[in-house]
Amino acid sequence: MKIHYSVLSFFAIALLASACSNPSEKQATGTTDTVVQPFDSATALLFPAEKHFRNVQQLTFGGDNAEAYWSFDSKKIVFQRTDHKEVMCDQIFFGVIPADSTQKFDFKMVSAGKGRTTCSYFMPGDSTVLYASTHLTQDTCPPVPDREKIKKYVWPLYKSFEIYVAGLDGSIQSQLTKNKFYDAEATVSPKGDKIIFTSTRDGDLDLYTMNLDGSNVKRITKELGYDGGAWFSPDGTKIVWRASRPTTPEAIKEYNDLLKQDLVAPTQMTVFVADADGSNIQQVTNMPGANWAPVFTPDGKRILFASNHEYPRGFPFNLYLINLDGTGLEKISGSNMFDAFAMFSPDGKKLVFCSNRNNGGTRDTNVFIADWVD
């Protein structure tokens, strides 16, 4: 689910390198002696073994497009985008899903066009959207960490991120948070009564819930580590999220030292589930690497998430299904590039996801939708 979008630029170079050795012209079983048919991975919308996808359609073409999420009526999406030309750092856009593949996907900006934004989501009624933005602090893009100096891949935790509600015409309707801490990664319960988000207001990266108007804020996680990117289950009774859990003295020190600099390293992430109030926490994944962007399946019985656990070098990222108790792991995407940010439409018929596929050998990440076949 929610993740700082800067992860895409970091992985893009590595993903391009790995794509050059894609064995997709061979049988899906991994054998190397029998060619099934010519297969151009650079222009593919659907890859071998992606049996859960049908009628894959590319919605955006060019730039960095990610974190695309459905409206409550399953007819629109909201997403963040930068094109490095006119949109220099992430801004929020929305568009109506075309009726068929012959129609163009048109989209327009709904954020202020200033500062940096992240983590958008439709509010109940689909006439307004939720997102985090730094625009009140400065009009320009905030500085990014010097990763060469820090010697590790990190995300910035901008204290100027506040959560806003805006109309589809771009007008700010309300500001839900107002403080000097990181507030972002917000999503809305399908019940239409609660927002869940991540904040540093109590000294750590924890999950909080609040009413739709920003009132009644409650902290629901307390373990040391990064708790973020949370989603409600379809019936609103459970949540799923990604978390880091530093346990050794060295890992704890590193985490705390970075946090003091408003930074976090997202390379080790685990998926957790709990009741919507944060009780009955259970660990779902037990694999190395970054296991993140989890969402519930339409029936609420499984979780779809992104992971690089198969790859010691940390890429590519694929999509996987898993049961809530951690059993039944199933790989469902196979582009050997970057597949993540998946979300089922509320009616359960479609999946939206973001991928490096069909980008012409560039670093572009685009938004795709597909019919979901269970």
Write the CATH number for 116: 2.120.10.30
Per the structure, how many domains does the chain have? 1
**What are the C-alpha distances in Å from 365 to residues 31, 85, 356?**
29, 15, 5
- pTM, two decimal places: 0.90
- Contact present, 323 and 271 (Cβ < 8 Å): no
Between CA 340 and CA 320 the distance in angstroms is: 10
In a domain? residue 88: yes
Does the residue 224 lie in any domain?
A: yes
How many residues in the chain?
A: 374
Three-class SS state of 197: strand
Place of tokens 């993140």: 292
Query: Which of residues 37 and 17 earns the better pLDDT score?
Result: 37
**pLDDT for res 40:** 72
pLDDT for position 12: 38
Q: Is residue 185 part of a domain?
A: yes
The residue among 188 and 28 whose pLDDT is bigger is: 188
- Neighbour tally for 47: CB within 10 Å: 22
Span 292-319, average pLDDT: 96
pLDDT tier, 33 (very low <50, low <70, confident <90, very high otherwise): very low
- pLDDT bin (cut points 50, 70, 90) of residue 27 is very low
pLDDT over 90 at 306, yes or no: yes
- pLDDT tens figures, 67-88: 999 999 999 999 999 998 899 9
- Identify whether 32 is part of a domain: no
Backbone dihedral angles phi then psi of residue 90, each to the nearest 5 degrees: -45, 130
Give CA–CA dist 367/167, Å, rounded.
22
Structural domain containing residue 187:
7-20+48-372
Let me know if residue 286 belongs to a domain: yes
The predicted pLDDT at position 39 comes to: 58
Average pLDDT, the chain: 90
In a domain, 29, yes or no: no
In this prediction, residues 207-227 reach a mean pLDDT of 98
pLDDT tens digits for range 132-149: 999 999 999 999 999 888
Answer yes or no: is 218 within a domain.
yes
Contact between 156 and 4 under an 8 Å Cβ cutoff? The reply is yes
Cα(68)–Cα(54) distance, integer angstroms: 19
Average pLDDT over residues 345-357: 97
Q: Which residues does 46 contact at the CB level (< 8 Å), separation at least 6?
A: 53, 56, 370
Separate counts of helices (H) and strands (E) for the chain: 3, 26
Q: Is the peptide bond before 156 cis (omega within 30 degrees of 0)?
A: no
Render pLDDT for 312-325 as a digit per residue (tens, 0 to 9).
Answer: 888 999 999 999 99
Q: What is the pLDDT of residues 76-134, one digit of tens each?
A: 999 999 998 899 999 999 999 998 888 999 999 999 999 999 999 999 999 999 999 99
Residue 32 has pLDDT above 50, yes or no: no
Q: Would 178 be classed as within a structural domain?
A: yes
Task: For 241-250, write each residue's pLDDT tens digit.
Answer: 999 999 999 9
